[in-house]
Amino acid sequence: MAKMFFPQYAKGRDGTDLVVGETILWHIRRLGGVEIDSECGGQGTCGKDVVRIEKGSRYLSDTTAVEKRLLSEGQRKGKRRLACQAKVADNAADILVFIPDFGRYTILTECITTDTAVNPCVIRKGDRVVYHTGEDLGPYEGKILGLAVDVGTTTLVLQVVDLESGENIGNPMASKNPQIAYGNDVISRIGYISNDTDNLQELQDAVVGGVNESLRELEKQLGVTPRSMINSIYDVVVVGNSTMRSIFFGQNVRALGVIPFEPFSKDALTRRASGLGLAIHPLAMVYGAPLIGGHAGADCVADILATGLYEDDHIQMVIDIGTNGEVVIGNKDRIMTASCAAGGAYEGYQIRCGVGAIEGAITQLVIEDGRARYTTLGNKDPLGVCGSGVIDLLAELSRNNIVNDRARIAQDYHITESISVSQEDINQLIVAKAGLRTDQDLLIEYYGTTLDDVSAIYLAGAFGNYMNIDNAMAIGLLPQTDRSKFIRFGNGALAGARDMLISREKRLDAERLIRSIEHTKPNEIEGPEFQYIVAANMYF
C-alpha cells in the first residue's frame, strides 16, 4: 500500500499508510512524533500548518477556498498546501511531505532549589524496592530513581531524580508537547476530545510518547546503557493545568469546556505506569497532583508548594502567565486563587506578528526616532515577536505616543518590512492583559488587604522569567508597586513536582491545600459589572 512520508523526522521516514479522504494533518497525528504548527487545531483559520509537497501532489484533493484565502499565489504555485485542508484523493502512489521548521523553542527548565527533606514514597528495604503502601516493586538493582514531569500546553519539561540522595540525574529535559499538532491552546484540545471521545486516547498517547522520547534522549546524553536508567524509575509525579493533567491520565476533559468549567474530579491520582504507556519500570507508580478548580490545576498547586507561601506569615502573591493565567494570594492562614485565559496572545499566538519562543523571535524591543531596534533569540533574522517582546512593544508604542491611552493606533506599525502590529493585534493583547490584571486586583480586594501589605510577588514560568518587569507595569499587566517585591522563580511547576517526588509530606500538603484553597471566579462574583472592570483595565 502507498504511504505518506515525512523524511525530516525519524518516525516519518517509514511513512504511514495512505487513507483516502483524510487530511495530511490527520496522517501527521496518526503517525505521532512529527511536529507541525497547528494553532487552530485544524479548523482552517490560522494558516500556520503550511507544508510543501515534494512528491505525489497529484494524489491530493484540489486546493480549497480556505487555502486560496490563506496562501499566496506564489505559495500555491510552489506546491504549498495547508495540512488541515489537503486530503488524500488517491492512494495509488506515495506522497512525500516536507514540513518547514517553525523554530526550535526556548523552553524554561531552570527552577528554584528548595530545602525539602528527602522522604520519598519509594524506598529500599534490604534487597527490595518497596512503595510506601508496602507493595513490593521488585529487587533492588543499584538505584531508585524518580521522575518529575511538568506537562505544559505547548511544552514538556521533566527531571530525573535519585530518590535515595535527592540529587538530580542530568539536567532537566525540555521539548514541545506533541499535542501542539492538535492546537496551541487547551480549548482546541477540549474541543477535539468533545467531538469524538476516541480522540482522548490519541492525545494521551501523544503526550506520554513525548515523555518516553525525552527519557530516551536523556539516556543518550548521559551515555548510559539503553534502558538502564529508565528501568530504574519507580515513581513519577505529574503536574499541569487541569486539562493537561487530566488528559495525561486519560480522563475526559469535556466538562472543562462547558459551564461551570470544572474538571470531573480534582482529587490526586495514582496509576500504574504500565497502564499509562510510560516506558519505565513496569511496576512504577505515577502520581497526578491534585487540581484546585476550573483551569487552576496541579501546576498552580506546585507553584504554591515551591514558593512556600502556604507556610509563611506574610501575605504573598504568585502570578503565572501562560496559555492560562493563574493568580494566587495568601499565607499560612488563608489562600485564594483565580484563573483566566490569558496567555495565547502573550505567547505569540492569536496575533499576526506573534510567534512562540523560537529562534528568530524578537525578545526585546525599543523604539528610537520612530524605528524599532530589537534583539532576537539565537541572533537569527526576525520571524515575529514572542511574549517578552510583545510587552516591550506595547510599552514602547505607548511611550512614543504611537498608541494613545485608549490603545488606539492610527495605522499598522512596522517593526520590520514584513513584521507589523495592527489594531486587531493590540485589541487581542489588551483584552488578555486586562483579564489577568482584573484577577490580580479583585483577589487583593476579596482577600481584604492592599497591595502595600503584599510582601512578595512571585513571577512563575518562562513569561515571568524573561519579561521586562518595568514595561509590564507600564502597560498594566502587573500592578504598580515597589520593583523589589517581584521575584522571578523560574519553572515553579517543575520545582513543586520535584518536591512532591522526593517528599511524601509535600504530597500530603498538596492534598490538604486543595481542600482549603478558595478558588474564586470573579466573573461570577461580579456579575454584569465584571465586563466593565475588565474594560477599565484594557487601557494604558
Whether 234 and 364 share a structural domain: no
* 82 and 132 share one domain: no
Q: What is the pLDDT of residue 53?
A: 93
Residue 244 placed within a domain: yes
Grid coordinates of 532: 466593565
pTM for this model (two decimals): 0.84
Q: What is residue 348's predicted lDDT score, i.e. its pLDDT? A: 61
478 lies in a domain?
A: no
In-domain check, residue 42: yes
Q: Per DSSP, what are the bridge partners of residue 300?
A: none
Same domain, 46 and 180: no
Contact 347, 356 (CB under 8 A): yes
Instruction: For residue 296, give the DSSP letter.
Output: B
C-alpha cell at 43: 479548523
CA 1/CA 95 separation, integer angstroms: 12
Cα torsion angle, 360, 365, 368, 370, sign = positive
Predicted pLDDT of residue 408? 92
User: How would you class 420 by CB atoms within 10 Å of its CB: exposed for 0-12, middle for 13-18, buried for 19 or more?
Assistant: middle
Q: Are residues 91 and 160 in the same domain?
A: no
Q: 272 and 141 share a domain? A: yes
pLDDT value for 306: 95
Q: Are 263 and 144 part of one and the same domain?
A: yes
Instruction: For residue range 261-306, list pLDDT tens digits in order.
Output: 899 889 999 999 999 999 999 999 999 999 999 989 999 999 999 9
Mean pLDDT for all residues in the chain: 90
Q: Is the same domain home to 384 and 279?
A: no
Angle at 354 between CA 26 and CA 327, to 5 degrees: 95
Residues 159 and 39 in one domain: no
Q: Are residues 88 and 215 in the same domain?
A: no
The list of the chain residues with pLDDT below 70 reads 10, 101-111, 323, 341-350
Q: Among the three residues 42, 64, 98, which one is the final residue of a domain in this structure?
A: 98
Q: pLDDT tens digits for 354-368? A: 877 777 889 999 999
Identify the CATH number of the domain in which residue 35 sits. 3.10.20.30
Q: Is 250 among the domain residues?
A: yes
Residue 79 near residue 104, CB atoms below 8 Å: no
Cβ(108)–Cβ(462) below 8 Å: yes
Q: Which of 421, 437, 458 is the last residue of a domain?
A: 421
What range does the domain containing 35 cover?
3-98
How many structural domains comprise the chain? Answer: 3
Same domain (yes/no): 88, 165: no
